[in-house]
Amino acid sequence: MSEESARIYDAIAEELDKAAAHARRTAEHFRDGEVPRAAAHAWATQGHVHEAQRRLEGQSRDHAARSRP
């Protein structure tokens, strides 16, 4: 289970790294006045954040199912 959890968190980190790269590109495009390109990268940023959140939610549900109050 530990290795599986580690792989999941590696995947979450990858998604967040991709989100950060898109956010940086978004800023570049806004600075250059390229609003449509900025908007496209902004949406990609959000998509990667949503995917990371989805994976985190799965981990929290698994933990809740196994935990004892």
User: What sign does the dihedral 31-37-39-41 (CA atoms) show?
Assistant: negative
Q: What is the pLDDT of residue 1?
A: 65
Q: What is the pTM of this model?
A: 0.87
Rounded Cα–Cα distance for residues 36 and 30 (Å): 9
* Least confident piece of the model among 13-17, 33-37, 59-63: 59-63
Average pLDDT for 13-30: 98
Q: What percentage of the chain exceeds 90 in pLDDT?
A: 86
pLDDT tens digits, 33-58: 999 999 999 999 999 999 999 999 99
Average pLDDT for 52-68: 93
